[in-house]
Amino acid sequence: MLPLAQLRAVHHCFAGFYILRRRLASYSVFALLLMGVALSIRPAAAGIFNPESFTLANGLTVVVLINDRLPVVTQMVWYKVGAADDPPGKSGLAHFLEHLMFRGTGDIAPGEFSRIVSRNGGVDNAFTSSDTTAYYQTVAADRLELVMKLESDRMANLALDEKEVLPERQVIIEERRARTDNNPGALLREQMNAMQYLNHPYHIPIIGWRHEMAGLTRDDAIAFYKQHYAPNNAILIVSGDVTVAKVRELAEKYYGPIKSVDIPARARRQEPPQIAARRVTLESDRVREPQFSRSYLAPSYSTGAKEHAYALQVLDTILSGGATSRLYGKLVVKDEIANSVSASYDVSNYDWGTFSLGGQPRGEVTVAALEAAVDAEIALLLKDGVTQEELDHAKKQLIASSIYALDSLRQGAQTIGTALTNGQSIADAEAWPERIEAVTVEQVNAAARHVFDMTQSVTGYLLPAKPEKRS
């Protein structure tokens, strides 16, 4: 089993409550009927989490989401910096610093942060994505002041000893070996991603390239910390059994004294026009079942043809949102040529996103045959478009996911944090159901025509090694 420190990083930014729609495919018809009742009584213009926000004098944005169902609270601190902001030649630095943030301050010994949270009945963790790094704790409501004190301390007072830095660097290298180097599927995704983005730093793995990770130093981490970890580059989100007045009081007390710094503008290399489809094949003796994958460069909420972002979420659900969806219903249920098939849309990046398709062929069916069948379904969709019935069903699934989001303390903080660190506003996040509801058949068809452009695609095959290549 990997040490806890090796499990801290989550290498994908969550897309908020949109991701929750994946849960809906497993719910019964009865559960869906209940969701329909809930939707019918929900005010059309109501928000989802109804947060309140304010900004401290030092630039720290504070968001409060009140949920008093249980005497529990979650604190999340989001920094507007991620792996795509790593300096050239130092890939993995943002993720490395995430690990080092648990290695102590002048007042807190290395590793003691998590032990204090645990002794007080709480849990804590952190994650790094391409665009953000976030830290969170969930504790009893009366322990909020404790975790605010701890988190604000490491925002300003991280202290790194060389004897702590070098072993932690080895931890992230071992993490890469376990999660990527020894996982053929992860290696294929890494190679596809490197081909998807020709110039933008999204083509670099969040965890980093191993040869560059091996050269990361204490000075690299400290410089990155001083440049990016400051209240005016952060968002504090508190969700749970709290009041705005109490959060304001504690935020002023613990975060308020921290000085702001000059934050450099994000200067990321941008994508040139993509004019040719790309293809990659990975063979491995670790692979037993072949797989087909394809990704297309796609707009996000903030980059590219942004007007398609909400329609593409609906399209994703039409294609793979349950047993009756287009791809699953045709290729798995009816034709029985695939064991699994899926679509996914990465909408919440600060820059470009991707729209992906994939599946595992059944029995003697080849990945080429499955790819051809998927292409035929996409061609049919582009020719005839989606139906009003498909649209209505997909929108109900998606909007219902926002109701489920209310059951989780962290989901609201995750959704708002993702929005605020990736160029959206609280109003954008709160208006999500209304914007999904407003999507039309014509908009979905236009979004499909826009995204399914083979010149902006990467296709991957994951195959068992040929007998002569097996070790």
Catalytic residues: 98
Say how far apart CA 145 and CA 138 lie, in whole Å: 12
End-to-end CA distance of the chain: 26
DSSP string, 415-448: HHHHHHHTT--HHHHHTHHHHHHT--HHHHHHHH
- CA-CA distance, 338 to 185, in Å (whole number)? 18
Give the other-Cβ count within 10 Å of 415's Cβ. Answer: 30
3-state secondary structure 10-65: CCCCCCHHHHHHHHHCCCCHHHHHHHHHHHHHCCCCCCCCCCEEEECCCCCEEEEE
By the 10 Å C-beta count (0-12 exposed, 13-18 middle, 19+ buried), 258 is classed as: buried
CA distance 464 to 73: 47
140 contacts 71 by C-beta, under 8 angstroms: yes
